[in-house]
Copies of this chain bind each other. A is one copy, B any other.
Amino acid sequence: MKRTPLAPFRFSVAPASAVSLADSVLAPRVEANRAATIPACLKHFEKEHCIDALKLKWRKGDKWFPHIFWDSDVAKVAEGMARELARKPDPALAKQLDRLARLIVSAQQPDGYLNTHFTLVEPEKRWTNLHDWHELYCAGHLIEAAVAHFEATGERFFLDAMRRYADLIAKTFGRKPGQKRGYPGHEEIELALCRLAWTTDETKYLDLAAYFVDERGRKPNYYVKKEGWEEWRLRYLQAHERPRDQREAVGHAVRWTYLCCGMADVADRTGDAGLLDACRAMWENCTQRRMLVTGGIGTDRGSEAFERDFKLDNLTAYAESCAAIGLALFSRRMHEITGEGRYVDAIERALYNGILSGVSLSGDRFFYQNPLSSNADSPYARERQAWFYCSCCPTNFARFLPQVSQLCWAWRPGEVRLCIPAASEFKLESGMKIVVSGSYPYDGAIKIRFEGAFRTARFPGMLGVTKPSKIPPRPFVLSLRIPDWCETFAVAVNGKRLAAKPKDGFVSVERAWKPGDEVALDLAMPVRVLRANDNVAADAGCIALQRGPLVYALESVDNGPALHRLSIPAKQDFKLVPAKGLPKGTVAIAGTAFETTRPGDALYSTAATRTRRRRFVAIPYALWQNRGPAEMQVWTREAQDPAPRP
């Protein structure tokens, strides 16, 4: 399948087998996923009957029944296992995955249909409630799993089964007579069909993805016609107008991110510039009006949805883990299509903050919600949980974390991009490898060395592309991202400083790179005092601390209870100190705070407050609640100068 000329500079993710992480923040999380998250998910699948469901064991009267989203959970973990396998061979894991993939396929019906709930419990209701019952959503995750399985193992049985399912869906939905002219309530299948099309080189799956994206929100509206829906219900699932006409991030946040992924994929592969314009505008609205400083999105507690511009409450912010993951997946696509660094800025913000906060360091406990403060008033669980009734978040980590190394690098013929300069390696097909060392994100001094021998002139092909693209053996471009948070930087090649100016967020050096070459990238990393846009009522008078890509939070473990009594002067010499009780190397920020108390027990009184100077310690937000239950806050009142001395 040929790409259109919409994105002539298109970048690709680095192949999973070519990149490996060696840093102290991301790499251990990826390892914990393999060692703890995936096994935990599989254990829960057994215990909660998800496996029994795939064995089609359910009978009327059983105390359990296959839930409408169980298949997607299992598929996501299968995808995660495949991605793990692609990252690093492991015969035991391969065997486990083979068993799981065969089990999934065994639940497929003769006509290609695969959904345990509607096969076992309510066969007569197949495709009757597209908006709530998640059939197409589950199908999408099954297809993604099959593609990942094929890429990791080269075996076709799972992929072929899911092609048959996709063929059934293509027969069922569309604009021809006898077809249902509907589309999913929870998007996901659009992006999955694009992956399937790319992997199988079959345009029909891209056509079906384009149909789902393009039929959505058309007038007369499917849901208005079928069920008399009102505007606000349509908005919840981004069906209030055609996606290409949408300009705001609205509705259920996870759905929105998956729709946007699908739109970007379709745009990229069909050359539909209108879809890409809509993606740009919606991304802009999301990240500049409706995103927490941690990259968390979908703040509404009641509906997991976006709220109006600048409504970004902290304690009640929902910020589902899956939504932050979805934002990273969407932003990755936008970077690949446009080459603009700001999309990587968003990936990095979400990754290091609002995504990693969702999983414990141990890898087996999860936050569904990632608010920006937590105390006794919190509406949410204040400790990570082992599992959820709807366990989309744990299973999303299982498949997302193996992709993290691929977010750090991107490439296109003639250019390799270091997007996130965590310690890592990128093996070029030439036999040379690019080795990044340093302590990023805790330190901005990064060394990039070219190592190994130089054998051939080819990059490995992009996943799923059968014929690898040719690139000239030399010279080629090494591009280094200068993050949005970095105001001062330096680049030196083999000890010689370059007067480099970033373009679209990257500094590019073209050179006949050879083993032994060394690039020094220095990103100045002072503590930055952030203030929110003054339309954000929730953060008025408050500051947040960020250093490098890390947003910091105060936790009561370090600061004692009643964090709301603290205020922090913006102008001060913040100190970097080792964080207590967190992984070695974790950098905490210490400084001066003021603690304000009001004497007396009265609920309201005119008593003057007392303010005392004291120390505060802030840790990376993503690491909160890894040392037991605690109060936490990201935004702290700014102490106005000059502060009183005791």
A interface residue numbers (CB < 8 A to B) = 287-289, 291, 293, 307-308, 311, 313, 375-377, 528-538, 540-541, 544, 562, 564-565, 567, 596-598, 600-607, 609, 637, 639-640, 643
Contacts and interface: CB of A to CB of B under 8 A. Distances in A.
Most chain B Cβ neighbours within 10 Å, of A375, A564, A597: A564
Nearest to A311: B377
A529 B605 CA distance: 8
A7 B218 CA distance: 73
Q: How many copies does the complex hold?
A: 2
B567 A376 contact: no
Contact of A313 (B287, B311, B377, B596): B377
The 7 closest A-B pairs by CB, nearest first: A537-B564, A640-B640, A540-B564, A534-B598, A530-B604, A534-B597, A541-B637
Nearest to A571: B608
B544 A562 contact: no
Nearest to A536: B603
Contact of A530 (B528, B596, B606, B643): B606
Contacts of A536: 603
Contacts of A602: 288, 533
A214 to B, nearest CB: 31
Contacts of A293: 603-604
B377 A530 contact: no
A533 B376 contact: no
Contact of A288 (B376, B538, B603, B607): B603
Nearest to A376: B308
B544 A604 contact: yes
Nearest to A541: B637
A376 B535 CA distance: 11
Given A564-B537, A564-B540, A596-B540, A604 B531 contact: yes
Given A311-B376, A313-B377, A640-B640, A604 B540 contact: no
Contacts of A603: 287-289, 291, 293, 532-533, 536
Given A534-B596, A637-B540, A528 B377 contact: no
A563 to B, nearest CB: 8
Contacts of A529: 606
Contacts of A541: 541, 567, 596, 637
Most chain B Cβ neighbours within 10 Å, of A528, A536, A603: A603
Nearest to A600: B533
Given A530-B606, A537-B564, 15 more contacts: A288-B602, A288-B603, A291-B603, A308-B376, A375-B537, A531-B598, A531-B607, A531-B609, A533-B602, A534-B597, A534-B598, A540-B596, A541-B596, A640-B640, A640-B643
A313 B316 CA distance: 11
Contacts of A531: 598, 604-607, 609
A67 B111 CA distance: 51
21 contacts: A288-B602, A288-B603, A289-B603, A308-B376, A311-B376, A311-B377, A313-B377, A377-B538, A531-B598, A531-B604, A531-B605, A531-B609, A532-B603, A533-B598, A533-B600, A533-B602, A533-B603, A534-B597, A536-B603, A537-B562, A541-B596
Given A377-B311, A377-B537, A596-B534, A288 B605 contact: no
Given A377-B537, A562-B535, A640-B639, A530 B597 contact: no
Contacts of A534: 562, 565, 596-598, 609
